[in-house]
Structure 1
Amino acid sequence: MIDLHLHFDGSLLPRTVLELADEQGIRLPAREPDELKLFLTAPADCKSLNEYLEKFDLPLLVLQTKEAIRKGMYTLASSLKEQGMLYAEIRFAPQLHTKKGLTQDQVVKAAILGLQEALAGSFFKAKLILCCMRGTDNLEENLLTVRTAAAYLGRGVAAVDLAGAEALYPTEDYEEVFALARELSVPFTIHAGEADGAESVWAALRMGACRIGHGVRAGEDAKLLAELRKRHIPLEMCPSSNVQTKAVPSLSEHPVLQYLRQGLAVTVNTDNMTVSDTTIDREFRLLQEELGMTQEERKALLLNAADAAFLTGEERWRLKDVIQKVC
């Protein structure tokens, strides 16, 4: 399995959040993992992306020290390894972990350390994507995130991203951020076509995004679908999450397989394992049970993910070789 769209703070296990809180003397609204899960998981009838994003508050509360970030990343990567994953790209916004005085550089160093410790001696590999954030008055923080990504590119960090409340903060407003990414040769993906429509995806393409986070609403514009297909731009689709955030009305109406059958470079991902109460295995199982995904389509989705991953040529070859042998 491969997961290219996986948020660090949205995928911490409840027991990890409890452990980190206990170590820091932070009070939480529940003391048992099953009870705390209610505060970390978005309801199936979530009203919008904005309500969904509220579930990140508690994990971020306990991820404000170097040791907590290191340990949190270590336990998440270890969990992915235990699931039998081949490869993952774990994304997070360093600027959201500076509330207690850490610099973005310190945050990223701690995350890389935790990741390296979890991956030692393992076939499973993972890299980090640093998220810039939609919002107001945080341009300098976003520019610093890009510079930090450039400093650690190839040393644990693979790319940058733009995340947050898409409908409130249009993608086109972040041209300066991604102009810097282009200048520093930092690859980037952008959350687009989730809470906002096709124009958000067009804006991401104009800025040079080599992948699109979600892109579920690209089908609102036939010309956009044709452009995505022509340029072979990968879509990081997250079925369960897209239903929760109301990007699509229901799983049965999710266009993931429709896009795949139309020749788009579709990939399947979790988005947030805890917030959406899912795993990559569950996402594929849902596509098979609810949408009739065939074994050949499963293989195509995995090969698309290998092609889309921020990997070197040799790393990509190794990944695709495993997929060809087991699928």
Structure 2
Amino acid sequence: MKRLIDLHVHLDGSLPYETVHKLMKKEGLPAKTDTELYPLLSVPEDCRDLNEYLEKFDFPLQLMQSAGNIEQIVYDLLTVQRAEGLVYTEIRFAPQLHCQQGLTQAAVVEAAVAGLRRFEKEQYSCTCTETTPELHAGLILCAMRGAGNEEANLETVRVAAKYLGKGVVALDLAGAEALFPTRDFEDVFSLARELEVPFTIHAGEAAGPDSIRTALAFGARRIGHGVRALEDAALVKELAEKQIPLECCPTSNLNTKMFPDMAHYPIRALLEAGVKATVNTDNMTVSDTTESKEFVKLEQAIGLTAAEEKQLLLNAADAIFGGEDEKARLRKLIAEM
């Protein structure tokens, strides 16, 4: 079995269908079949654009406004990921989006950490073998692009600092990149630097190379998506020289019409340029994908080789927001594939 790593997966875009059924029953909502749920949770193959893609977060967020539900979703997602063969994952979410029914951002994070700890306790009580090694995980808290949420974003940074090393591993900035430029969020990352919270930033997806340059200037250790770096040869060279990892999400990028098909996805070009590219799911349920599916699609579309896959996984191991011991564990697992 492959030893897979997913560094870029959104909690609200990755609710397992079984979990949705369970929570709908708990919330007293009318039961729906998977077929009836599909248009609420997942985009079709002919998804029109980013706007249609973003619509699929509305229904999941309705189920993510209580501590118990958030804990259950984190636990269930980790269970699904381990069964798929993941050995490391970093799950991200925006605490401010889960405060509609009275939760504080800190309470949201505590619930997510509780789900993580519950999974760890159950996993450690079972027998993990060489065939099925442990799945280790961390949480990334997202500040959100938008207007009028400046204080909420700063609170997210402060909460990230409070729980750093206690389940939380980093900060992120997500949302409508083209409408709300990265440069407008300098205060968020100034505070993150002051509080010594490491961060990644969604950049170079809806907006171009300048968004990536701004993220680098802020001090981002990784770039979410980042595939539009290829529009700027000098930027590609900088990313390669500084070994800044890109969290590439192929299926998601096709869903939002960044590329016409998987045959045009530039993962090989990034590797050949020396960029530390990685492959991730972004939103498992919205994009109807898994980490293993991402690799299979690239194998079928561009003939991704076993050597290239191993390099992508080693890149991911090096890119984690974790310590050297964890990186060494992952490198060893990948070398044994």
TM-score of the two chains, using structure 1 as the length reference: 0.97
Q: Per-residue deviation at 1:98?
A: 0.3
Q: Which runs of 5+ in 1 are unaligned?
A: none
Name which of 13, 21, 26 aligns with 1:18.
21
Does the Cα contact within 8 Å between 1:50 and 1:165 map onto a contact in 2? no
Residue type of the alignment partner of 1:54: E
Does residue 205 of structure 1 match 2:208?
no
d(CA) in 2 for partners of 1:171, 1:47: 25
Which residue of structure 1 lines up, in the alignment, with residue 131 of structure 2?
none
d(CA) in 1 for partners of 2:241, 2:27: 51
d(CA) in 1 for partners of 2:259, 2:66: 37
* 1:15-54 alignment runs, 5 A limit: 15-27=18-30, 31-54=32-55
Please give the secondary structure, in 2, of the residue aligned with 1:236: strand
Please give the secondary structure, in 1, of the residue aligned with 2:171: strand
Residue type of the alignment partner of 2:309: R
* 1:294-305 alignment runs, 5 A limit: 294-305=305-316
Does the Cα contact within 8 Å between 1:49 and 1:165 map onto a contact in 2? no
Q: Which moved more, 1:304-313 or 1:30-39?
A: 30-39
Which residue of structure 2 lines up, in the alignment, with residue 162 of structure 1?
173
Q: Which moved more, 1:17-26 or 1:139-148?
A: 17-26
Q: Per-residue deviation at 1:51?
A: 2.1
Q: Deviations over 1:25-83 (max 9, x none)?
A: 245xx611232022211122223223211100111000000100011111111111111
Q: Per-residue deviation at 1:258?
A: 1.0
Does the Cα contact within 8 Å between 1:132 and 1:163 map onto a contact in 2? yes
Does residue 5 of structure 1 match 2:8?
yes
d(CA) in 2 for partners of 1:189, 1:50: 23
Which residue of structure 1 lines up, in the alignment, with residue 243 of structure 2?
232
d(CA) in 2 for partners of 1:214, 1:240: 11
Q: Per-residue deviation at 1:11?
A: 0.5
Which residue of structure 2 lines up, in the alignment, with residue 95 of structure 1?
96
Q: Which runs of 5+ in 2 are unaligned?
A: 129-133
d(CA) in 2 for partners of 1:145, 1:12: 22
d(CA) in 1 for partners of 2:224, 2:152: 21
Does the Cα contact within 8 Å between 2:237 and 2:273 map onto a contact in 1? no
Q: Which moved more, 1:38-47 or 1:257-266?
A: 38-47
- Root-mean-square deviation (Å): 1.1
Which residue of structure 1 lines up, in the alignment, with residue 274 of structure 2?
263
Does residue 69 of structure 1 match 2:70?
yes
Q: Per-residue deviation at 1:21?
A: 2.0
Please give the secondary structure, in 2, of the residue aligned with 1:128: strand
d(CA) in 2 for partners of 1:303, 1:62: 36
Q: Deviations over 1:212-255 (max 9, x none)?
A: 00001111111111111111100000000001111222211111
Name which of 311, 314, 317 aligns with 1:306.
317
- Paired residues in the alignment total 324
Residue type of the alignment partner of 1:19: K
d(CA) in 1 for partners of 2:149, 2:46: 31
Which residue of structure 2 lines up, in the alignment, with residue 114 of structure 1?
115
Q: Per-residue deviation at 1:184?
A: 0.5
Which residue of structure 2 lines up, in the alignment, with residue 60 of structure 1?
61
